[in-house]
Structure 1
Amino acid sequence: MRAPLLFAPSIPLTANYARPMIRGCFPSNPGSPEGAMKRFACALVLLLASVTNLQAQAPFYQGKTIRIIVGNLAGDAYDLWARIFAQHMGKYIPGNPTFIVQNMTGAGGVVAANYVYTVAKPDGLTLGTFGPSMYFDQLARRPEVQFDWAKFTWIGNPEQTEFILIMRTDNPYQSIEDVRKAAQPPKCGATGTSTSGYYMPKFLDEGLGIRFNIVTGYPGGGEIDLGIERGELHCRNLTISTYFAREPFLTWHKKGFVRPILQTGKKKRSSSPRRSVHL
């Protein structure tokens, strides 16, 4: 799975400008964080080059500001990635533009995607980052969708990660089999129908008959976490990289407040409990 993705309104690449940039896009240490950032920066430069006046003496982006529209609350994983980009990307682009992050929450990122597609101009000054499964809502023909997923210009993603389903330990649902046998399904929180918090439990429900009560409408991941702490939710699906990298999940895991009961991916993570199911 890839998350998050960085998009721009669809604009064509200018090949004549991009060609000399390609030589610098192959770092000597491609596996390092610096190499990954350089490759990503090159992809962004090649995209943004399409709006540059080739004959201009000053770089197009000199003195300009590029916005990154984030469909999540401040502090969520996608927001943190966007702020890392904003801190470092300007120095890799001719003209050294300023980057700012603008949070635009709603419907699990659909509000942000609609804005980037229908409102933002295709001038290279607006980017968007939202979930890679957003096209599910378009395929389902949900009325709130105003974008055509195929017409976004895809730039890249900072990581490839899988998903993990966590459950509070102070309830009867200690394993997937417990959920399958339960008379009342556990409540899992999600921000919207295009997020993994929704479609992973939905897949288990409709595909395997393992029922979940999915509660949507939370503004962000932090609100879902509070819902779990307050006891109004039993479970949440999120990326493995988020769960094993930051709070409150590190403390939850250490204290045994939650238990992973399922994870996706080609290989089961060694730190996941033995009773968790690997898909």
Structure 2
Amino acid sequence: MKLGRIVSGITATALSAAVTVSAAAPASADAVSDFYKGKTVTLIVGSGEGGSYDFMGRLIARHLQSHIPGKPNIIVNNMPGASSVRATGYVYNVALKDGSVMALVQPTVVLNKLIEPDAKYKPQELNWLGRVAPITLAGVVWHTAPADTVDEAKKHELIFGASGATGYAAIIPWAMNNIVGTKFRVVRGYKSMASEIVAMERGEIQGIGSLGWDYFPSRRPEWVENRTVRPLYVIGMERHDTLPNVPTVVELANTDLDRNVMQLFAGTISIGYAVMTPPGVPSERIDALQDALAKVAKDEAFLKDAQKRKLQIDPLTGSQVQKLVADVVEAPEAVVSKMREVIKPPKK
């Protein structure tokens, strides 16, 4: 066979393939648009109303609709319980796997799988769409508390509030007691961060072991200015720009193993305000939702809303969040074992 005839055959095949691909792409996009057109999409928020996750979830929902092909209606459904474990279990096991259900949950659900291996979900199998913003978590006390520094908290008991035994509001104070030597006592049973803040304001509790610090500059700026609420520590790898004099939990640890435990807590928080869907959602819909969330993070109206509320927007792609999740799930056994030891609820 002559070379010219071979080249001609290859060229014809390539052109045919190109035509097929170009025809398939719009068809795929049209299929996604057709699916979402006229549909109602639910964004589950894994915490109660009034807290930072609820606030961010509703902000995302407000701007996400216009960026999803077909522009579906989006409703927000709060599903509090066990620091988002309930919502995550629902998304993993019960929710429709067609792209009509998304969730914004506390990133601690990823770490919870290491704490409770029997938890009915696998965080690495969820489809993480991306992160819109980081979270700044801090332990805080009310201005009337008998201690407002970590050193003073080693001398005086502080009563903290939490929803349950699985969230950072409980496990960080317990870990601090065992690693740093503080004297935190955790009262559980609050429904949400908002109810914990009300309890702190009323004097039922003296502080909260973990909450989104961004809540205060955006919702109660006078509390920050007047030092009505005071940060004790930041749950992060590095000190926060707006809290330069507040230590991180990592720097408070004294041994390498203890630092690794605190780094595991802090690294989990890097997941931030991230949105996910159940496993099994068709890949073309995952791609469309990831693209839509990425566009929200660049949307001028969204950024303007975020700036009004003093929110720091620093997005990550779905694949970047998926990597962070995998890093937590694959933590060394020695670190996981020590973590489980230091976060055990104290015996009554």
Paired residues of 1:136 and 1:194 also in contact (CA < 8 A): no
The answer (yes or no) to whether the contact 1:65–1:97 under 8 Å persists in 2 is yes
Give % identity. Answer: 27
Inter-partner Cα distance in structure 1 for 2:193 and 2:236: 22
Please give the per-residue CA displacement for 1:15-37, whole angstroms capped at 9, x wherever unaligned.
Answer: x79x969xxxxxxxxxxxxxxxx
Residue identity matched to 1:240: W
Stretch moving more, 77-86 or 53-62: 53-62
TM-aligned CA deviation for residue 265 of structure 1:
4.1
The count of residues paired between Structure 1 and Structure 2 equals 227
Question: Which residue pairs with 1:40 in the alignment?
Answer: none
| CA distance, structure 2, for counterparts of residue 147 and residue 158 of structure 1 | 23
Distance 1:111 1:57 in 2: 29
Q: Which letter maps to 2:50?
A: G
Q: What amino acid sits opposite 1:124 in the alignment?
A: G
* Shift, 1:62, TM fit: 0.9
Aligned equivalent of 1:172, options 125, 136, 146? 146
Match of 2:233 among 262, 266, 269: 262
**236-245 vs 77-86, greater mean Cα deviation:** 236-245
Residues 109, 192 of structure 1: 8 Å contact kept: no
Q: Distance in 2 between matches of 1:193 and 1:158?
A: 27
**Equivalent position of 1:71 in the other structure:** 46
Task: State the TM-score, normalized to the length of structure 2.
Answer: 0.59
- Measure how far apart 1:152 and its partner are: 1.0
Is 1:216 the counterpart of 2:192? The answer is no
Corresponding residue number in structure 2 for 1:13: none
Which of residues 121, 127, 132 is equivalent to 1:158?
A: 132
2:247 alignment partner in structure 1: 277
For 2:241 and 2:58, the matched residues in 1 are separated by 30
Tell me if structure 2 keeps the 8 A contact 1:53–1:60: no
Structural RMSD (CA): 2.7
Pairwise CA distance, 1:179: 0.9
Q: How does 1:175-254 map to 2 (within 5 A)?
A: 175-182=149-156, 185-236=157-208, 237-247=210-220, 250-254=221-225
CA contact (8 A) 1:105 1:219 kept: yes
Deviations 1:71-126 (A, max 9, x none): 11122111121112221212112211111101111112111111111110211100
Structure possessing the higher radius of gyration over alpha carbons: 2
1:124 matched to 2:88? The reply is no
Q: Which residue of 1 aligns with 2:66?
A: 91
Structure with the greater relative contact order (CA < 8 A, sep ≥ 6): 1 or 2?
Answer: 2
Partners of 2:78 and 2:236 lie apart in 1 by 30
Q: TM-score of the superposition, structure 1-length normalised?
A: 0.72
Larger helix proportion, structure 1 or 2? 2
Is residue 33–residue 69 contact of structure 2 (8 Å, CA) maintained in 1?
no
For the structure 1 residues 60 and 168, does the alpha-carbon distance in structure 2 shift closer, same or farther, using more than 3 Å as the test?
A: same
Look up the SS of the partner of 2:165 in the other structure: coil
